[in-house]
Structure 1
Amino acid sequence: MITYEEALKFAVEGEAVFLIGSGFSTGAENALLDNDRHLLIGSDLAKELAELTGMDSGVQLDIVSQEYIDMYGEKQLVDYLKVHYTVERYERYYESLAKIKNLKVYSTNYDNLVEKVCNDCGNKVKGYSIDADIRKVNKDKMVMHLNGYVKDLENDILPDSFRLSHLSYNSMKFFDTPWYSYLIDELYSAKVVFIIGLSFSSDLDIRRIVSGQELRDKVFFVERHDLSEGSRKFLDKYGRVLLCGVQTFLEDLSKVEINGENKKEVYYKTFKKVDRYDNSIEPEDRDVYALFFNGIEKEGIYKKDADRCYETLVNRDKVLDVINDIEQGKSVIIYSDLGNGKSIFVNQIVDLCPKMNFYYLKQVNNQRVLSEIKNFCNDGKEKVLICDPANIYLDILDKFADFDLANVRFILVMRSSMYDNYYNAIYDVIDKMTNAQFINPINLDVLSDKEIEKLDKLILKYGFYGDLAGVFEQRRQEYLRTKCKSRFQNILLYLFESTHIINRFIESIDNINANDDLRRILILAFVSGILELGLNVNDYKILLDIQDIERVIKRNKNCGDIVDVKRGNIAVKSSIIAKELMMKTEIFSRNEVFNVLIAIMNKLDNLYLGSDKYKNVMINLVSCSYLSYVFSYQMESNKFIEYYESVKELNFCKKNLFFWEQYAIVCVNLKQFDRAGRYFRTAYSLAKQRGHLFSAYQIDNHYARYLLENQLYYRKKEGSLAVFIEAHRLLNKNSEIDRIKKNSRYYKYRVARAYKDYYDAFASKYEDSDKDIFLKRCQEMYYSLLRYKRGLGNDEIRKDVRECESALKYILDSENISF
């Protein structure tokens, strides 16, 4: 826990966020000629306006200000506010604000005190209202006025962002702007938060923002000396209370001197050093159970024997190879489906490579990210940066291209579906890292025979087998290889069924006497767990608009079997079970899930510009492959399409190339080819707007698939050759670029699997000249595939690539063409 003295130093260094209210401005005066020039707090402003309108003194501010407008006009109220809240002079102790680097203030006040003080002292700071475009604001030096800013009163009207009258209070709400999500990220990434002169007990908006347990240790309330004991106890729930008053606090701040020579290790907002596991802790049976069935990693599971073999884990074969490559300065991409061991694999790399420093890339607001990247790359220390999931960090990773990466290695981790969706973008980023060398991607989906043998022993040792416990070792292992296809996810599903855990999940949900709020919480918990959305309790409160979420969950005893609520997070007990239940049962109706997701998308549409996390959530929630986990393609087609119809008008979607591409893919999957064609044209049009340097590689591949499947669906021989030629052209359009960049992009081979069906349906019946044209292109694709396979290990060749090779061989063999 940081001390007050440390907090003051952090503030001067620019590592603090200030939340201020009317009590902060008590030492400022306006230019009025009467005796009392102090700025009015909200209750005093309401009293004055009530007196001027002849209303009772207890009438609320929004009502009495609207009455004032009705009586005297909006211009007169604007003039009144300008005079009363434009600061003319202030006490000298406020000048300490000007020494703060990167001052970030969020104010509930209308006045320009902070801006005037800093500008007078030569440290220019600008004020904004919540309607400011978040993409254009210099967020390093700003005052954000949550209720409106006096300097915005320029046109004799109250802007929508000025929360004063009854109408303006209803027109724009802070919670529906990107600044809300941005402020939350700011609070969590700051080293210290000062709340000064704010009516915290009555300001529900601000109280909601800082209610997270994670913030409590770094929040300081600056309060007056005579604060009541009851009020102090109330504030103690949210942070530490300083009974020093504004003047003393600012005077303390002015005395802080920062000596650069005495600064500790560089503090990064963007990077977090990985904490290593304590290998001395003996594992307990319940720790292993928690790992297998709840996905919870306790330190004991990383206990190793003298040969560095884990007692409760399978040592993955590829870990040591990756470590060897990392020690030689190389980087790696690791991907797999849900539940196939990405996190454990990365943790084993960290644990078995003690000489190297590992860091996680964090998703936080940081205007100085370039400076941090420079320090990170140039400090002379070898390190490894883990990006998990890597697809959400591509904007930050792209910035590394401008720096020397001799001391930096990367581990990029992601789900297979996101690896597919972002394949082109990932390699575009990697291509720019001219001095970073990546080994071939590592897929973790299939366990080797050696890994199966070790896993079999662990399952038997801890009594998880159920009916298989009594059969011979060879039969057990054969079951894992054949029935479970050597995939850890499938093995876990078998274990869940054999121990009746899935049935207990269903019973727990069936037994919940759920109100609507609880069911919405559980749906979001399932979706978040399946799609790795990374949402915390505060995000649930924002997106579902339920403020007492913890109480709603804990009030129902059956919820404890389904979700965990601890340390500010809500997590489903097993993402694998969640996926299985969402795909194959009706524990939540399709309409129910559908309505929750649409409501969340509408909420996110107001917030995503202020939060990279929320932007990533929206990307996931329009990704066709990700949504298939929730809705499944077997779902009634109209309902699946309806989801895209319902969100297409959102700001995030309507000019988003990725959205229209995904919408088109859904239509192809559901054989609605006319609509798919229109949406592909929309995607191409948006791609064209990005300029000639933008590569439409991924759209080209999906559009080629659309051309082939559309022709096959309607079985139209007429025009089929021209369609095939165009589809083949699109698939090979970027082949030369890929060869030069040495990218092993496999997308086109996935699509080219359809060549076999095309041959059987059309080409086998072509005239010789047309057939030669078709076969020549099949040969071209086949030789391209062989070149792609060079340098790949047998286990690195994807299933769809093997299927494509088999399909092309079938065509060439059928025509007796040697190769």
Structure 2
Amino acid sequence: MDLQDAARRVHLQRSVAFFGAGFSRAATNYNGKSLADAGEFAEALSKAAGEEEILPLRLAAQIYQEKKCQPDIRDVIKTQYRAANISDDQLLIASLPWMQIYTTNYDDVIEVARRKAGLDANSVTVLDRPRDHAGYTAIVHLHGFVERITDSDWESSYALTDRQYAADILSQSGWPERFRSDAAYADSIFFFGYSLADLDIARLLYRDPSLREKTFFVIGANAGRATQLTVAPYGNVIARDISDVGAEFPDAEDVEAARAAPYLASLQELKLDVASQQASRDEIVNFLIKGDVDGAFITRDLVNATHDYYVAREQIGNAAKGLDGGPMRILLHSKLGNGKTCGLMEFAHYCLAEGRRVLAFNGDPDGLPHDIDYITGLGSVDQEKLVVFFEHGFSYASQIKYLIERFPLVSVVLTARSAALQTRVGDLTDAFGEDFEVYDLEGLTEDEARDFDDILYANGLWGSRQGDRLEARLDYITRSCRSDLATVLVDVCRSSDIFRRVRREFAGLDAQPPDIKRSVIVALSAAYSGVRLSVAQLCEVVQSDLFKYGSYQSNEIIREFVDFDRFEVSVRSPAFAKSVLNEVVPDHLILEFVPEILRRLDRLRDASAVYNDLLKALMRFGFIEGILTDEDKERKLVAYFEAIRASGVGINNPQFWLQYAIACMSFEDFVNADSHFTTAFGLASRWGGYDPYQIENHYAKFLLLSRVQTGHWNDYFEALSEANEILQRQVRNFREGFYPYRVAINYLEYVETHHEKFSRDQLDRISDWCAQLIKVSDSAPSAVRKSVYWTRARKALGDTRDYIAEVR
């Protein structure tokens, strides 16, 4: 993209402007003087403070204030930086239809220009929360704003004195992360009046090659060599004055101005791409071990009815049978690592082969309004051909519901983890209604297991089992691994060349900068959690510019997980990530780094849903329990949750205390679990609109297990009554899905253990409770009735009634 094209595209309202001190120089204040730049302001403050030499601005301002020079420094700013007159070029550039505006300037030049043009001037500072200003243009003053100089603003939103800079208010505000997010989404990014004083702001972009092409620094015709060299790594250097560059921006009515055209922002159109040749062993290894999938090889196997790279799934074929019918509502689910993403690619192939259009959601809900407009412009015939994919569908239930209500002819296919389906089937019912199909990808059929063995064997990936007979290998898949693909892949990972290489490289990380070690652990943690990070997001989490130093990009272990050519984190396999975290990364590093990562994610969570998803994932008991080694596991689990508590991240979060309680239950510390449940309930009651169903469900399980596995309590009937009250309420609410049935399975053991402590009347009441649960379960959604938990619970409840009939 060149300057002229970028300037035209501003009229699409998808570009970001950043204004530095040089932009405001042509304006005059109410004293008729030019707005002072940083150097001039520093000189004036230094002389007024009686300094013999001109100090840097931050020091000059600090000394001026400490000496209590008059007028007060805030009055000086008001005098110096209130604009009375602006130039035509400033009016033109500031009033362009920017998506977002950022500035380090204290002055109100941008506001004066936009008001003069009849536009809104929504000015904010670092005291304002980014999420409160999402969806419309804001003028973000990162270092303070002349129209908001009050005692509180001066201390907490200005970056002028040395003390204010030391406080580093900006980095804690959330606006740097918002700036990077806006930059990633923008068509183009313009820096006007950039100077060396703004170097820290330029570094907010990191040296991300994906942003460089669309970033333009207008630094002036007389800019020094140092300024040019400083900005060059971050974008295109435009050594021209603002008055000259302004002519590049056409009027909105000009034929040269870009015209808004239908485009996709959050939805990406998939195409039928067939690989011209068979995948190499390295490509197959990267796919199976690291999860680095190439859809063209999947399509090649499907077209040729082969399985050199990918094993076609029977359940996906079954789902595709509905292509000839009306609009589809389909859910594909499994545990992590069992092929949901590849299953979508397979399903896309069938759709495309039938002449359907497939749009895949990229995880950014901010762009969906644009895509709604796009779909609105299509006729009903074209809408009927559309199939929209949502991975991690439950995270976007409200968007899916809106899409279906708005476009009932559009087909929707989403994926979810089986655990999410168990807990949030009500969200799916709200979005889809009752008319949807559920397909379980959790488990290989006999034919699929045989085809998968062919791939492993042909590429020498079976490790020590490579020499076994076919029957032995298949028996291992079906019996030892219970036909679970993720379990097989964990074993394959341990035997892989990549795994051995990573083990070797990780051992040498102590001699490397700590950023590398943190980056590796974050990349692995995200992959194991099923959360996809871009390289820019990885940089954000570890607070390190991985593009900045060549040594980072050449580091062997970094290159195992980060593809710098495609700007993405390349490790996506939960099986591989779990293997490395469990067997290569020492437990003490996990206990040290992950709570730090959580603290950082807590700050980032409002900037993007990705950070919030990763925060919740890393806080779960299931995450940490799966990667810690067994030795002294109880102590390490407590240390992990205590580290999170001490960081302040979880102290006010009911979900944290629930996960801590679950951890305690795992090693039968029911007394502390009880305390943590109490805390979780207390916090949940103070959160407006918080639904405590997960806390209640696990508490019901706690009540049953704690009275069976310990003798600490003797309220046997009261505990069962309280648990039953929770379950009776939950089975009547579709939103709780499988959860109440998982707990009800424990009724039989509870009654068998304690029946002698119950009176005849109490036994009769328990039998009635079981009958009520069985009766209500008949009305459960079809997705629930197909689950093993529903079947087992009904059997356990029936057996409990039979047992009571025998012993009463």
Taking structure 1 as the reference length, the TM-score comes to 0.88
- Alpha-carbon distance between aligned partners in 2 of 1:363 and 1:50, rounded to the nearest angstrom: 51
Give, as a single letter, the amino acid of the residue that structure 2 aligns with 1:29: T
- Alpha-carbon distance between aligned partners in 2 of 1:481 and 1:356, rounded to the nearest angstrom: 36
Give, as a single letter, the amino acid of the residue that structure 2 aligns with 1:768: R
Q: Is the 8 A contact 1:673 1:710 kept in 2?
A: yes
Equivalent of residue 314 in structure 2, options 309, 312, 317: 317
User: What aligned pairs does 1:619-658 form with structure 2 within 5 A after superposition?
Assistant: 619-631=616-628, 636-648=633-645, 653-658=650-655
Give, as a single letter, the amino acid of the residue that structure 2 aligns with 1:458: I
- Alpha-carbon distance between aligned partners in 2 of 1:149 and 1:643, rounded to the nearest angstrom: 42
SS where residue 387 of structure 2 aligns?
A: strand
Change (3 A) 1:163 1:496: closer
Equivalent of residue 64 in structure 2, options 65, 68, 88: 68
Q: Is the 8 A contact 1:667 1:673 kept in 2?
A: yes
Residue 512 of structure 1 and its aligned partner are, at CA, apart by 4.3
Q: Is the 8 A contact 1:332 1:438 kept in 2?
A: yes
Which is further off, 153-162 or 210-219?
A: 153-162
Change (3 A) 1:430 1:54: farther
Residue 104 of structure 1 and its aligned partner are, at CA, apart by 1.4
1:734 aligned onto 2:724: no
Q: Is the 8 A contact 1:189 1:364 kept in 2?
A: no
Change (3 A) 1:261 1:399: farther
Change (3 A) 1:301 1:372: closer
Q: Is the 8 A contact 2:126 2:142 kept in 1?
A: yes
Change (3 A) 1:497 1:77: closer
- Alpha-carbon distance between aligned partners in 2 of 1:75 and 1:334, rounded to the nearest angstrom: 68
User: What aligned pairs does 1:274-289 form with structure 2 within 5 A after superposition?
Assistant: 274-289=270-285
User: What aligned pairs does 1:310-709 form with structure 2 within 5 A after superposition?
Assistant: 310-325=307-322, 328-354=326-352, 355-364=355-364, 366=366, 369-370=368-369, 372-373=371-372, 375-376=374-375, 379-380=378-379, 381-382=383-384, 383-394=386-397, 396-397=399-400, 399-400=402-403, 403-420=405-422, 423-424=423-424, 427-428=426-427, 430-432=429-431, 437-440=435-438, 442-499=439-496, 502-515=499-512, 516-548=514-546, 551-554=550-553, 556-557=555-556, 560=559, 565-572=564-571, 575-583=574-582, 585=583, 587-631=584-628, 636-648=633-645, 653-689=650-686, 695-709=691-705
Give, as a single letter, the amino acid of the residue that structure 2 aligns with 1:393: Y
1:121 aligned onto 2:117: yes
Give, as a single letter, the amino acid of the residue that structure 2 aligns with 1:410: V
SS where residue 615 of structure 2 aligns?
A: helix
- Alpha-carbon distance between aligned partners in 1 of 2:322 and 2:348, rounded to the nearest angstrom: 13
SS where residue 486 of structure 1 aligns?
A: coil
- Alpha-carbon distance between aligned partners in 1 of 2:732 and 2:276, rounded to the nearest angstrom: 53
- Alpha-carbon distance between aligned partners in 1 of 2:500 and 2:306, rounded to the nearest angstrom: 35
What is aligned with 1:770?
A: 762
Equivalent of residue 269 in structure 1, options 265, 269, 276: 265
Residue 502 of structure 1 and its aligned partner are, at CA, apart by 4.1
What is aligned with 2:78?
A: 82
Q: Deviations over 1:433-485 (max 9, x none)?
A: 55x94212x22220111211222233333333355445544343222211221
1:719 aligned onto 2:715: yes
1:193 aligned onto 2:189: yes
Which is further off, 559-568 or 101-110?
A: 559-568
Give, as a single letter, the amino acid of the residue that structure 1 aligns with 2:396: Y
What is aligned with 1:19?
A: 18
Q: Is the 8 A contact 1:378 1:404 kept in 2?
A: no
Equivalent of residue 207 in structure 2, options 194, 208, 211: 211
Residue 647 of structure 1 and its aligned partner are, at CA, apart by 3.4
What is aligned with 1:779?
A: 771
Q: Deviations over 1:601-637 (max 9, x none)?
A: 2223333223322222222222222333344787543
Q: Deviations over 1:269-303 (max 9, x none)?
A: 33232344334444333322322233222333431
Equivalent of residue 91 in structure 1, options 64, 87, 96: 87
SS where residue 609 of structure 1 aligns?
A: coil
- Alpha-carbon distance between aligned partners in 2 of 1:57 and 1:278, rounded to the nearest angstrom: 70
SS where residue 732 of structure 2 aligns?
A: helix
SS where residue 140 of structure 1 aligns?
A: coil
Equivalent of residue 141 in structure 2, options 110, 131, 145: 145
Which is further off, 445-454 or 320-329?
A: 320-329
- Alpha-carbon distance between aligned partners in 1 of 2:148 and 2:197, rounded to the nearest angstrom: 28
- Alpha-carbon distance between aligned partners in 1 of 2:397 and 2:520, rounded to the nearest angstrom: 30
Q: Deviations over 1:117-163 (max 9, x none)?
A: 11122111122111113333365221111111111113497232111
Equivalent of residue 787 in structure 2, options 764, 787, 797: 797
Change (3 A) 1:726 1:395: same
What is aligned with 1:50?
A: 46
Q: Is the 8 A contact 1:668 1:706 kept in 2?
A: yes
SS where residue 182 of structure 2 aligns?
A: helix
Q: Deviations over 1:53-86 (max 9, x none)?
A: 1224442111111111122358611000111011
Q: Deviations over 1:672-726 (max 9, x none)?
A: 33443343344334444456x7643322211211211222233478431221122
The unaligned stretches of length 5 or more in structure 1 are none
- Alpha-carbon distance between aligned partners in 1 of 2:466 and 2:484, rounded to the nearest angstrom: 19
Change (3 A) 1:167 1:192: same
- Alpha-carbon distance between aligned partners in 2 of 1:730 and 1:149, rounded to the nearest angstrom: 54
Change (3 A) 1:641 1:466: closer
Taking structure 2 as the reference length, the TM-score comes to 0.89
- Alpha-carbon distance between aligned partners in 2 of 1:444 and 1:42, rounded to the nearest angstrom: 62
Q: Is the 8 A contact 1:161 1:172 kept in 2?
A: no
SS where residue 63 of structure 2 aligns?
A: helix
- Alpha-carbon distance between aligned partners in 1 of 2:765 and 2:519, rounded to the nearest angstrom: 57
- Alpha-carbon distance between aligned partners in 1 of 2:488 and 2:312, rounded to the nearest angstrom: 17
Change (3 A) 1:265 1:629: farther
- Alpha-carbon distance between aligned partners in 1 of 2:517 and 2:95, rounded to the nearest angstrom: 50
Change (3 A) 1:765 1:544: same
- Alpha-carbon distance between aligned partners in 2 of 1:284 and 1:599, rounded to the nearest angstrom: 40
Q: Is the 8 A contact 1:279 1:304 kept in 2?
A: no
Q: C-alpha root-mean-square deviation of aligned residues, in Å?
A: 3.4
- Alpha-carbon distance between aligned partners in 2 of 1:155 and 1:498, rounded to the nearest angstrom: 63
Q: Deviations over 1:362-387 (max 9, x none)?
A: 34473x75464354356332423222
Task: Give the paired residue count.
Answer: 797
Q: Is the 8 A contact 1:153 1:159 kept in 2?
A: no
Residue 525 of structure 1 and its aligned partner are, at CA, apart by 2.4
Equivalent of residue 749 in structure 1, options 741, 750, 773: 741
Change (3 A) 1:60 1:235: closer
What is aligned with 1:110?
A: 106
- Alpha-carbon distance between aligned partners in 1 of 2:783 and 2:545, rounded to the nearest angstrom: 55
Residue 114 of structure 1 and its aligned partner are, at CA, apart by 0.7
